Amino acid sequence: MRTDQSERDEMPLDPVGRRISCGKERATVRYVGHVSPYEGLWLGVEWDNPERGKHDGSHEGVRYFTCRNPKGGSFVRPQKVSFGVDFLTAVYLTYQTNAEEVLNEEIFISSKKLEWFVVEEKRFENLPSVVLNHSDVNGPGAAGEIRKTTPNVQWLDLSGSLLSTWKDVAAITEQLDKLEGLQLSVNRISLTSDPWAHRQAFSNLKLLALNNCDFTWLQMLECAPMWPQLEDLSLENNNIRELQRPEGILQTLKSLNLSCNPLMQESVSRLSSLPRLEWLNLSNTKLSIIQLEDATQATSTDIFPALMNLNLDHNNISEWSMVNELAKLPCLVKLSCRDNKLVSSDGNPKTVNQMIIAKLGHLLYLNNSEISFEERKGAELDYIKMFGEEWLKAGGVDQSSTAFTCQHPRYQMLIKKYGAPDEGELKKPEPFALKNQLINITFVFPDDAEREPIGKKLPASMVVQKVKGLLHRLLKIPPADLRLTYTSHKVSGTEFPIDSDLKTLHFYSVEDGDQVLVRWS
């Protein structure tokens, strides 16, 4: 909702530093005065959108103000902009004109959906949540009126407002004694010189979203004393690069979202001084590795002692040593690692997920999917086979080399769990081009003595799902009912399971001349 011209306040006495709206754009006033050779009063503004303006604050060789971007500034007439309205005016305009729509609206703060409480009577004093996103709120209005009018607000959305200072924000929140969640995304709020002075105004705040506010991490640490009970902080898409240690502040924080910030990866471990941090979102932050400072040679670490859920989606992670580092986090049970650059020897993304599961023994969820008992067992057994030949070359059970142990820290534990692999079970890596070679396979039917064997020439890169599709066309039996094993012409008397539809024949080491045994229920 935007205010029209008749609803706008007159220009304040101290407009420099104030926020204004002009159409759908937001800006900060940097200059008020005359601009030669034009008559009348002008506002020099720095737009939030760095491409919206025409210059950097100078005109015909005269500098009137400065901008961070060469096209971030403009001169506009005061009558063309809005300095906004106070909080209660915005509430009246929003809830009297479209109350039904607002009361039925879904609220999201920090990617979490907030539930409305039941409002028996649609009166302002009964409102548990107030949504004023892009409503041009510029301040509290008359002293004490917010507390009288909306005393039960627990969740407040002031994203895209015209609030310019933390003093203005605090003047609103200090009147909302029950406030627990605050959405302040898409704002430009200047730092306060004394954050401790506003501590009481945010004394019950547990959830705060400051996405797309152009803050640095150091600025956040300067503001943090205002939020003594904060548990959930979202700082998506800011200007955060280097992370400093939050010593003595944010110690109650359980959830932190740093998604879409160009982080310096060597500074990530400094967040370990957050003792209660359970959920950390580092997606789309250009990370390629995280080094846990006190765990270079250890199998576990004391840093991030409570971290349970980690999001690393859309990064540049390509080294498996990174996954080995994550295995040192004692409480990590949920990991999302989609759209990275980790690869397996067979080039199959499903194998990458299996390797992550095998390397992280405590993991319960991967990429938002629960890991079943069968899936973990299959992943760990396949991991043993996949690297069994390297393990034997490295010395096997008693004499595994340090290099192999560093690359596969859980391997010996898996050997103790399942036993050492037989030579015939080992997955021997072959050149990539071999996967596309055709191999002669004979399908046999041990439970149907009258059915003749069927010979086929298939690509080694064919996935089992497609093999079952072929058998369905030949046998008229549903693919879901088919169970496959194979015998190798190199190892007599042993049947090897083919138990994943998404893996290739090459993955199972099915070779030219082998037999595939077909059974069905």
- pLDDT, one tens digit per residue, over 434-466 is 445 789 999 999 999 899 999 999 998 889 999
CATH number at residue 170: 3.80.10.10
> Considering the domain boundaries, does residue 334 fall inside one?
no
Q: Which residue has the tokens 């959108």?
A: 49
> 397 pLDDT band (50/70/90 cuts)?
confident
pLDDT per position as a tens digit, 185-225: 999 999 999 999 999 999 999 999 999 999 999 999 999 99
Using 50, 70 and 90 to split pLDDT, how confident is the model at 7?
A: very low
* Per-position DSSP letters for 86-154, written without gaps between them: EHHHHHHHHHHHSHHHHHT--EEETTEEEPPPP-SS--GGG-SEEE-TTS-EEE--STTHHHHH-TT--
Residue 400 domain-assigned (yes or no): yes
**Within-domain flag for 9:** no
Q: Say whether both 119 and 221 belong to one domain.
A: yes
- Return the pLDDT at 273: 87
Give yes or no: residues 302 and 446 share one domain.
no
Q: Which of 28, 47, 80 is the last residue of a domain?
A: 80
Query: For the residues 316-341, what does the mean pLDDT come to?
Result: 95
448 and 312, same structural domain? no
Residue 368 inside a domain? The answer is no
Q: What is the DSSP letter of 474?
A: H
Does any domain span residue 92?
yes
Q: Same domain, yes or no, for 92 and 73?
A: no
Tell me, yes or no, whether 182 and 241 share the same domain: yes
Mean pLDDT on 474-482:
91
The bridge status of strand 454-459 relative to strand 85-86 is unpaired
Between these two residues, 494 and 427, which has the higher pLDDT value? 494
Q: Which region among 66-75, 356-365, 505-514 has the lowest average model confidence (pLDDT)?
A: 505-514
Q: How far is 22 from 26, CA to CA, in rounded Å?
A: 6
Is residue 384 domain-resident? yes
Residues 226 and 259 in one domain: yes
Domain of residue 155, residue span: 85-321
- Of all residues in the chain, the percent with pLDDT exceeding 70 is 88
Q: Helix 373-386 and helix 411-418: axis angle, to 10°?
A: 110
Structure tokens at 243: 């992370």
* pTM for the whole structure: 0.77
Average pLDDT over residues 279-300: 78
Provide the CATH number for the domain around residue 73: 2.30.30.190
- Does residue 272 sit in the same domain as residue 130? yes
